[in-house]
């Protein structure tokens, strides 16, 4: 077996966490009590001090393969600042923040999976999206009431109402205003608002601008000195048109490019919809190029340019950590880095997010707080965006004002070597629909249950196996052994030998959908 594949398939050893969340224990079971007590003991020194600040760094369309701390990283990728963040904390191997930009952000603002977010909707061309803030509440408002100074900088993309004055004390955002022709300005000349005031066009490279403003905030600008703070920094990189800063253009032009095994096909046992999303073809000169309607760049240039674009992100993370250190806040600040979702780099013929495969939706995910949390650890517990929200509340010593879907990751962060079972992790794709509207579409117009060519689905990762169930009738099931087949090439759902795993995961999916009150569980016939 090649060394790279051996590394990729490595199973975490006893010092790398694969655990969390006893599932069937009653609330006051002795084992659960002991686990919570351990977490409280480890948090006591910090609980007696000031409430922690939270710096949440959020990139856009970034594959975990573009972070060199991950063993699956692409050749030539170098992210020394993100790697340093991972060494100072915990790197999660499997994180699922969402299937695309808007639902990922909606989940991170509500602590709910999209199937329970009511009134969120798309109305006409973006940003014609809206929600009723009385029914679709965003949790930063809870932090505000509890004494936190809340701030959001960068890309918004969650409705025309950005929540300033209700959810955010300070906000400087680009909301992709389509009516001004500015929706695609991800990297230059963005139209910004600050605390509800239109600033007009702001020049400069967006990644650098956002970093500048965030460093100013960390160092005391636009916030009171006597309050803990929560900052959600939303970069636009590396979203299309994936434009690097001038100083980084061509930096990776000589990198080797690893071609996925099924970039062209065939894909026996895979669903038929993959033929519609085929983004690559073999050109007459033997180079892989964009298929018709998918852009004319070569696959090699596409990957190398993506790596170029990550450079400014990594520099930004380094500057943010420096600002925390120089301002004396590093030991009392929880730092989280992740992305709204991943982005397929040719795997399964894809050049999109949305798809249920790790290549398309799995995000990089790192949590660090030196002195409070474990350092240099790797955690194989699959996690999702509601888990992260629930963990923020735990660190702030607060309780959510409504029932959220996530589970507190604190025991994993404070005692990563404690043995426990991995809990199955749910993620989903319901297009631009949310809440009860999801079930309405499935029952009334099921043909509409796809987005970007990808049928709606729910998926479950139990730490070893991945189960994918599409929400409309007529689609096949998918089952993957992530240990032996991390690239998800061989669908085992039709294998008689793997029938027990299929049935076990169907039942586990039903349990998790019931726990999170999905409105469509009964329509799936998960007993079959």
- Is residue 24 over pLDDT 70? no
Tokens of 369: 């707080």
Torsion of the alpha carbons at 8, 420, 408 and 520, rounded to the nearest 10: 80
Let me know if residue 398 belongs to a domain: yes
In a domain, 184, yes or no: yes
Token representation of residue 429:
């794709």
| 104: in domain | yes
Q: Which residues pair with 1 in a beta bridge?
A: none
Element (H, E) at 337: strand 333-339
Backbone φ/ψ region at 53: left (φ over 0), alpha (ψ -120 to 50), beta: beta
Residue of higher predicted confidence among 244 and 27? 244
The per-residue pLDDT for range 483-514, each reduced to its tens digit, is 999 999 999 999 999 999 999 999 999 999 99
Residue 319 within any structural domain of the chain: yes
323-361 exposure pattern, b = at least 16 Cβ within 10 A, e = fewer: bbeeeebbebbbbbbbbbbbbbbbbbbbbbbbbbbbbbb
Note whether residue 120 is domain-resident: yes
Torsion, Cα of 217, 220, 221, 224 (10° steps): 110
Q: Are 438 and 430 in contact (CB under 8 A)?
A: yes
**CATH code of the domain containing 195:** 3.40.720.10
Nearest residue to 427 via CA among 467, 379, 474, 477: 467
Quote the tokens at residue 361.
């939706």
Q: Scan for tokens 């340093």, then name that residue.
A: 84
Read off the pLDDT band of 11 (50, 70, 90): very low
Q: Containing H/E element for 389? A: helix 385-396
Under the banding of pLDDT at 50, 70 and 90, the label for residue 183 is confident
User: What's the mean pLDDT in 39-55?
Assistant: 60
Residue 330 has pLDDT above 60, yes or no: yes
Residue 209 has pLDDT above 80, yes or no: yes
pTM for this model (two decimals): 0.90
Helices (H), 178-237: 206-218
Place of tokens 């879907």: 405
Q: How far is the C-alpha of 489 from the C-alpha of 495, rounded, in Å?
A: 14
Tokens of 399: 């309780």
Task: Identify the CA nearest to 316 among candidates 214, 223, 246, 229.
Answer: 214
On whether residue 437 sits in a domain, the answer given is no
Residue 50: inside a domain: yes
Classify residue 58: in a domain, yes or no. Answer: yes
Provide the domain count of the chain: 1
Write out the two tokens for 7.
């590394």
Residue 239's domain comprises 16-245+313-420
Q: Is the peptide bond before 266 cis (omega within 30 degrees of 0)?
A: yes
Taking residues 57-61, report their average pLDDT: 98
Check: CB of residue 401 under 8 Å from CB of residue 112. no
Mean pLDDT for the chain? 89
């Amino acid at each position: 077996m090649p060394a790279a594949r051996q590394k990729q398939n490595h199973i975490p050893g006893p010092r790398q966490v694969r655990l969390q969340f006893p599932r069937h224990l009653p609330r006051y079971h002795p084992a659960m009590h002991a686990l919570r007590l351990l977490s409280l003991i480890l948090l006591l020194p910090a609980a007696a001090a000031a409430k922690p600040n939270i710096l949440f760094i959020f990139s856009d369309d970034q594959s975990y393969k573009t972070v060199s701390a991950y063993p699956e990283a692409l050749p030539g990728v170098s992210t020394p600042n993100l790697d340093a963040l991972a060494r100072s904390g915990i790197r999660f191997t499997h994180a699922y923040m969402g299937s695309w930009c808007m639902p990922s952000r909606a989940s991170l603002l509500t602590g709910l999976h999209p199937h329970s977010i009511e009134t969120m909707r798309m109305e006409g061309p973006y940003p014609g999206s809206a929600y009723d803030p009385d029914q679709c509440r965003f949790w930063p408002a809870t932090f505000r009431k509890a004494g936190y100074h809340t701030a959001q900088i960068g890309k918004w993309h969650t409705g025309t109402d950005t929540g300033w004055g209700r959810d955010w004390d300070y906000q400087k955002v680009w909301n992709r205003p389509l009516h001004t022709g500015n929706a695609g300005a991800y990297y230059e000349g963005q139209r910004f608002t600050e605390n509800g005031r239109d600033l007009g066009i702001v020049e400069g490279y967006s990644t650098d601008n956002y970093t500048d403003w965030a460093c100013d905030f960390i160092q005391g600008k636009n916030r009171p000195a006597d309050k803990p703070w929560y900052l959600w920094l939303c970069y636009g990189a590396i979203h299309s048109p994936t434009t690097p800063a001038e100083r980084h253009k061509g930096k990776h032009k000589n990198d080797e490019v690893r071609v996925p095994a099924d970039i062209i096909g065939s894909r026996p046992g895979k669903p038929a919809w993959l033929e519609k999303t085929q983004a690559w073809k073999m050109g007459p000169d033997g180079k892989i190029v964009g298929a018709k309607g998918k852009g004319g760049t070569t696959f090699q240039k596409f990957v190398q340019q993506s790596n170029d674009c990550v450079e400014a992100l990594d520099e930004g993370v380094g500057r943010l950590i420096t600002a925390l250190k120089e301002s004396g806040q590093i030991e009392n600040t929880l730092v989280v880095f992740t992305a709204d979702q991943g982005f397929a780099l040719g795997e399964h013929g894809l050049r999109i997010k949305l798809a249920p495969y790790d290549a398309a939706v799995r995000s990089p995910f790192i949590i660090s707080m030196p002195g409070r949390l474990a350092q240099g650890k790797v955690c194989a517990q699959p996690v999702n965006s509601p888990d992260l929200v629930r963990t923020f509340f735990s660190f702030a010593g607060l309780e959510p004002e409504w029932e959220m879907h996530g589970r507190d990751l604190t025991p994993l962060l404070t005692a990563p070597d404690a043995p426990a079972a991995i809990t199955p992790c749910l993620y989903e794709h319901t297009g631009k629909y949310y809440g009860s509207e999801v079930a309405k579409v499935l029952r009334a117009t099921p043909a509409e249950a796809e987005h970007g060519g990808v049928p709606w689905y729910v998926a479950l990762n139990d730490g070893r196996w991945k189960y994918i169930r599409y929400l409309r009738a007529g689609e096949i099931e998918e089952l993957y052994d992530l240990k032996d087949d991390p690239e998800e090439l061989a669908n085992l759902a039709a294998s008689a030998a793997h029938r027990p795993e299929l049935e076990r995961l169907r039942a586990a999916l039903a349990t998790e959908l019931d726990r999170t009150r999905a409105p469509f569980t009964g329509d799936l016939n998960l007993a079959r």
